Amino acid sequence: MKKILVTVLFLTVAVNGLFAEAKHSTIVYTMKGNVEAAYNTMMDKPIKALGYRLPDPRKGVNDVYKKQYGSTTLDVLSFMTIVNDKSIKPLLEIDPKLAGFNPFNLVIYKHQNKDETVISHLTASAVIEMLGITNAKVIAEYTKMMTNLDSLVSKTFPKATVTYGLYEGAMTDTMMHYEMAFDRPEDLDDFIDDIQEKVEDTFIEKGYIMAGFFNYKQGKKDLIPSYDAFWTFSLCHFPYSYTIFDNKNAMPEAAVFAPCTMYMYIKKDSNTLVMGMPRLANWDRLFKMKGQKRMDFLKKLD
């Protein structure tokens, strides 16, 4: 009897593992030929009409790779970080972790040896899981916002083949989170300027490029009243970027994660600076790094 129960239990676990529900990590649009010009047009007035900004667009990253490293396997690679700040700000009032992927990259790439172009981004569900967001309103509103974005891409490229990146199982240990207490000065602006300068200097010393900056308190501050300060840095480590996205067995599909977004905020009347960002380990979780060199580089920076 015990053997039968053990066998049944083993089969149950095996079957559940075999038929585990696959989840969408990315949405992938594949178009024949080089559609960079049409993409660039979409990233101007059409995407801005949806409420998106492009704080720090980086076109022709592959050209920079070729200039700096002497070669590239890509015809097209652009990091077009976008943020719908008017829609995001009310959601940050509920869960500030949403800034971990906002701004985010609506990446475009084309391999030299393929007559097709790919446009891709992380799905709302993958972002929500990695950030550990559980609030129903945040999930619903963010999912709706991303659905509207996908409607624009589909309308712009009606002949695109749409596929999804897949992953299984729960994602754990996906975020870095730090809190730093400070003596709150009368003039908080000077403190913020000093912190931002120190962060920039520290990352630059470690070989990073400060690829972007976005201040959520800029503009209509009443849309985000619970914070005295809230900003993000976009971080890029160029040797790491080239190692992952270009050269042999290039993985430009992983550029949906690039540049990495680090958020920092101070709650209203608080004396605590909060910092957070997604871990690089998420890249391997969703894309499975090709080659030990890529994996070693990822672990070193994480």
101: domain CATH number? 3.30.310.70
* 3-state SS class at 54: coil
What residue numbers bound the domain in which 71 lies?
Answer: 23-301
Residue 16 lies in a domain: no
Reading the block at residue 276, the tokens are: 């957070």
The 3 state secondary structure assigned to 223-264 is HCCCEEEEEEEEEECHHHHHHHHCCCCCCHHHHHHCCEEEEE
pLDDT above 50 (res 33):
yes
Counting the structural domains of the chain, the total is 1
What sections of 96-237 are H helices per DSSP? 124-131, 136-156, 188-205
The predicted model gives 203-208 an average pLDDT of: 92
Rounded to two decimals, the pTM is 0.90
Q: Is 240 inside a domain boundary?
A: yes
C-alpha distance from residue 83 to each of 127, 200, 257, 300 (Å): 14, 21, 14, 29
Percentage of the chain beyond pLDDT 90 is: 86
Residue type, 227: Y
Tens-digit pLDDT profile for residues 136-159? 999 999 999 999 999 999 999 999
Tell which residue, 80, 82, 102, 105, has the closest CA to residue 91: 102
pLDDT number for residue 302 = 79
Residue given tokens 């480590």 in the structure block:
237
Query: Could you read off the pLDDT of 56-114 as tens digits, one per residue?
Result: 999 999 999 999 999 999 999 999 999 999 999 999 999 999 999 999 999 999 999 99
d(Cα 153, Cα 151) in Å, to the nearest integer? 6
| Nearest alpha carbon to residue 285 among 275, 272, 274, 298 | 298
Whether 5 shows a pLDDT value over 90: the answer reads: no
Question: How many helices and strands in the chain, by DSSP H and E?
Answer: 11, 12
How far apart (Å, rounded) are the C-alpha atoms in residues 55 and 261? 12
Residue 275 lies inside a defined structural domain of this protein: yes
Q: Is the pLDDT of residue 4 over 60?
A: no
CA atoms of 109 and 134, how far apart (whole Å): 33
For residue 174, being part of any structural domain is answered with yes
Q: What is the pLDDT of residue 21?
A: 81
Residue that wins the pLDDT comparison between 135 and 17: 135
pLDDT on residue 98: 98
- Candidates 275, 244, 286, 287; CA nearest to 100 is 275
Q: Is residue 7 part of a domain?
A: no
226 domain residue, yes or no: yes
- In tens, the pLDDT along 230-249 reads 999 999 999 999 999 999 99
d(Cα 16, Cα 111) in Å, to the nearest integer? Answer: 38
Question: Strand pairing of 107-111 and 74-78?
Answer: antiparallel
Q: What is the percent of the chain where pLDDT is above 70? A: 93
Tell me the C-alpha distance between 236 and 212, whole Å: 9
Tokens of 35: 């559609």
pLDDT digits (tens, 9 = 90+) for 273-296: 999 999 999 999 999 988 899 999
Task: Retrieve residue 141's tokens.
Answer: 């509103």
Task: Let me know: does 208 contact 34? Beta carbons within 8 Å.
Answer: no
Q: Quick check: is 11 in a domain?
A: no
Asked whether residue 17 is assigned to any structural domain, the reply reads: no
Q: What was the pLDDT predicted at 223?
A: 78
What is the DSSP secondary-structure string of 9-28?
HHHHHHHHHHTPPEEEEEEE
Q: Which token pair is 123?
A: 């799905």
Q: Residue 243's pLDDT is what?
A: 95
